[in-house]
Amino acid sequence: MFIKQIEMVPKTKEEVQEVIDSVPEWLKDEVSNNSYGFAEKTSTLIIEIAHS
């Protein structure tokens, strides 16, 4: 049901850098390879489900 509603969007360079700066050294390579994030609509659904 929710799979069709999940939308991933590319992160900006600034967003990727912000995440890289906030994680421990051992996670930086993994984080730098993840250049996608949830779209706003998907994030809203996640929050709504979590609060149910």
DSSP assignment of the chain: --GGG--EEEPPHHHHHHHHHHS-GGGHHHHHT--EEE-HHHHHHHHHHHT-
> What is the extent of the structural domain holding 43?
3-50
Structural domain total, the chain: 1
| In the predicted structure, residue 14 carries a pLDDT above the cut 70 | yes
pLDDT band for 27, please (50, 70, 90 cuts): very high
| In the predicted structure, residue 16 carries a pLDDT above the cut 70 | yes
pTM, entire model: 0.66
pLDDT of residue 3: 63
| In the predicted structure, residue 5 carries a pLDDT above the cut 80 | no
pLDDT of residue 2: 56
Mean pLDDT of the chain: 89
